Amino acid sequence: MNPSSTRAPFPIPVVAAGPGSQIEEEHLDYISMPQGMATYQSPILPEPEEMRGRDGALRVLRDTEAALQAAVAGQAVAPVSLAGLSEAELALVNQVLGEGEVAARVLPAPGLGEARIQESVFAGVWRVVRTEAHGDECTVHDTIEVGDAPALLRAAARADALGSRPDLLSAPAGVMNAQPILAELEDQRQRFGLHAEAERAQLPAHVVNLSLLPLSPEDIGFLDHVLGTGRVLILSRGYGNCRITNCQVPHTWRVVYYNSQDTVILNSVEVTELPEVACAAAEDLADSLERLTEVLAWVAQG
């Protein structure tokens, strides 16, 4: 007799119990994280013989290389002017520099000009185009700056913080949690301001993550009202998108991260000289020097 024919029915149905075997009645909708990351891509250069007669462009690129060498050594670096270049020379400079992760704009104000800033594919090498109005005329200054960030970004933020701001104690109805946050930021600003300017770049940022706090629409509105919005706007595209704006109080920045669907995934306020996400690190400058030297070795063949 077959022993299996005498077995009683198993009282518990046999089902798989591994991962994914359970039926979920509700669909879990997760926030999409950034999918792409910007990486270095070597510029597409013309053939060496096609670059003859572009001595002005070669001079600018060599001056930029020298500026990188000085910056890596910790020395002060002056901007490299692009004034006087022909269209062909300027096109070669644009082709070599390309566009990197970070772009910025300093909006105009009464008596002040505006600026457009673009990081090149060489991190820490910045193209800065400033426009100054003089009555009905305007002057354009086109330069290359080398460093962690263009000096104009910090200067404009300091200028925006010179005016007076509303009292954080005079909050309207409906404000619940904004005042403690503003008091914390004010305390950190005072601590930050006690340090010498040369020391501030080495201090860690104090970050308040608004995404994790229970804030009402009135709280958000009061935060915006007291902190204000300055003239500096920075967009970093290193991993997803990061939008940075300065506030109209000292050393304070709004830093908002978005995923690839432009949904906010992190909303924060930072007390710092300039948010780290907008700056090139010392290692970036050394790497850019190596890459630009390789590019100039190719260009020199012409």
- Domain containing residue 66: 39-148+281-302
Flag the least confident range among 63-67, 87-91, 133-137. Answer: 133-137
Average predicted confidence (pLDDT) for the chain = 85
CA distance 287 to 148: 13
> Looking at the predicted structure, is the pLDDT value of residue 163 above 70?
yes
Q: Are residues 59 and 206 in the same domain?
A: no
Q: What pLDDT shows up at residue 198?
A: 82
Which tokens is 113 given?
């000009």
> Looking at the predicted structure, is the pLDDT value of residue 220 above 50?
yes
In a domain, 25, yes or no: no
Which residues, 6 or more positions from 106, have their beta carbon under 8 angstroms from its beta carbon?
Answer: 114, 115, 117, 152, 153, 156, 231, 232, 233
- Is the Cα torsion angle 226, 229, 232, 238 positive or negative in sign? positive
Q: Are residues 74 and 158 in the same domain?
A: no
What pLDDT, in 10s, does the model give residues 105-136? 999 987 778 999 999 999 999 999 999 877 77
In a domain, 3, yes or no: no
CA distances to 51, 163, 286 from 89, rounded to whole Å, are 9, 43, 26
**Mean per-residue pLDDT, 161-188:** 86
What pLDDT, in 10s, does the model give residues 190-211? 999 898 888 888 899 999 999 9
Q: Are residues 82 and 163 in the same domain?
A: no
Q: What pLDDT shows up at residue 6?
A: 46
pTM for this predicted structure? 0.82
In a domain, 24, yes or no: no
> pLDDT-derived band of residue 155, with 50, 70 and 90 as boundaries?
very high
Q: Are residues 291 and 257 in the same domain?
A: no
Q: Are residues 94 and 163 in the same domain?
A: no
> Looking at the predicted structure, is the pLDDT value of residue 4 above 70?
no
In a domain, 107, yes or no: yes
β-strand partners of 134: 137
Q: What pLDDT shows up at residue 262?
A: 83
Q: Are residues 190 and 101 in the same domain?
A: no
Q: Are residues 155 and 262 in the same domain?
A: yes
Q: What is the CATH number of the domain that holds 70?
A: 3.30.1370.140
Pairing of strands 252-258, 264-271: antiparallel
Task: Check if the beta carbon of residue 274 is closer than 8 Å to that of residue 247.
Answer: no
CA distance 290 to 262: 35
Q: Are residues 272 and 291 in the same domain?
A: no
Share of the chain above pLDDT 70, in %: 81
What pLDDT, in 10s, does the model give residues 253-280? 999 999 878 889 999 999 999 999 999 9
> pLDDT-derived band of residue 37, with 50, 70 and 90 as boundaries?
low
In a domain, 7, yes or no: no
Q: What pLDDT shows up at residue 217?
A: 92
Overall domain count for the chain: 2
> Looking at the predicted structure, is the pLDDT value of residue 69 above 60?
yes
Q: Are residues 295 and 220 in the same domain?
A: no
> pLDDT-derived band of residue 229, with 50, 70 and 90 as boundaries?
very high
Q: What pLDDT shows up at residue 86?
A: 93
In a domain, 198, yes or no: yes
> Looking at the predicted structure, is the pLDDT value of residue 8 above 70?
no
Q: What pLDDT shows up at residue 26?
A: 52
Task: Check if the beta carbon of residue 301 is closer than 8 Å to that of residue 48.
Answer: yes
Q: What pLDDT shows up at residue 165?
A: 77
In a domain, 29, yes or no: no
In a domain, 17, yes or no: no
CA distances to 20, 35, 38, 213, 243 from 32, rounded to whole Å, are 21, 8, 18, 21, 18
Q: Are residues 59 and 139 in the same domain?
A: yes
Q: Are residues 52 and 82 in the same domain?
A: yes
> pLDDT-derived band of residue 48, with 50, 70 and 90 as boundaries?
low
> Looking at the predicted structure, is the pLDDT value of residue 29 above 90?
no
CA distances to 64, 102, 105, 230 from 289, rounded to whole Å, are 9, 18, 25, 33
Q: Are residues 269 and 286 in the same domain?
A: no
Task: Check if the beta carbon of residue 192 is closer than 8 Å to that of residue 200.
Answer: yes
More confident residue, 91 or 40: 91
